[in-house]
Amino acid sequence: MKKICKVTVNDEPFLANCGDLLLDWALMNGVDLPHDCRAGICGACKVRLVDGTVFGGQTRGDDMIHACQARIVSDLEIAIEAAPEPTTLPARVAQTVQLAPDVVGVDVEVPKSLEFLPGQYCKLQFQGFPARPYSPTYPLEGRPHDRVLHFHVRRSPTAWCRRRSAAIFAPGTVSS
């Protein structure tokens, strides 16, 4: 029989099996926990360990843990910061750069600055294509601009899509 641990999330108590990954446990129990890579790299699933012990997912001297890498080994108290509400903005393709034969760097200008956290994404929709999530990246040259988001977009291998994407990613194209 597995040991049961008490996991308190933002002052709300739950029960968990000792040895479960914190992220898996949270998702199976309806706890809204942002996540992305599940490899401990992106930082989207970081939570504050207020009290208790986990195995893995920690950086020495830091009370933030990667929930995707942390196994529950004792009673825990964790704090999750609220994620910002989604925002919808029109955007304009400001510049494109061919980064590889099948990858285009697309700079998208938005009407106001956006602050985003690690692991967050933007759902872009270009005319004639379905909406798709893309993670903003740091620009390859220079400092970031507060109203320009940078994306790396892989072009589809089909000729039809390649011809269409060349027109869609042209500077001045509007996205939503």
Could you give the residue ranges of the DSSP H alpha helices within the chain? 22-28, 159-168
pLDDT in tens, 12-63: 899 999 999 999 998 898 888 888 778 887 788 889 999 999 999 888 888 8
For the chain, first and last CA: distance in Å?
52
pLDDT in tens, 125-151: 877 778 888 888 877 777 778 888 888
Instruction: Return phi, psi of residue 126, to 5°.
Output: -100, 150
pLDDT in tens, 107-130: 889 898 877 766 677 888 877 778
* Contact by Cβ (8 Å): 63, 46: no
DSSP assignment string, 52-119: S-EESSB-TT-SEEETTTPEE-S-EEEE-PPPPPP----EEEEEEEEEETTEEEEEEE-SS-----TT
In order of their start, the domains of the chain are 4-79 (3.10.20.30), 91-175 (2.40.30.10)
The Cα angle at residue 33 between residues 50 and 6, in degrees rounded to 5: 45
Question: pTM (2 decimals)?
Answer: 0.56
Return d(Cα 25, Cα 14) in angstroms, integer. 10
Return d(Cα 74, Cα 51) in angstroms, integer. 10
Return d(Cα 6, Cα 25) in angstroms, integer. 12
- 8-state DSSP, 38: S
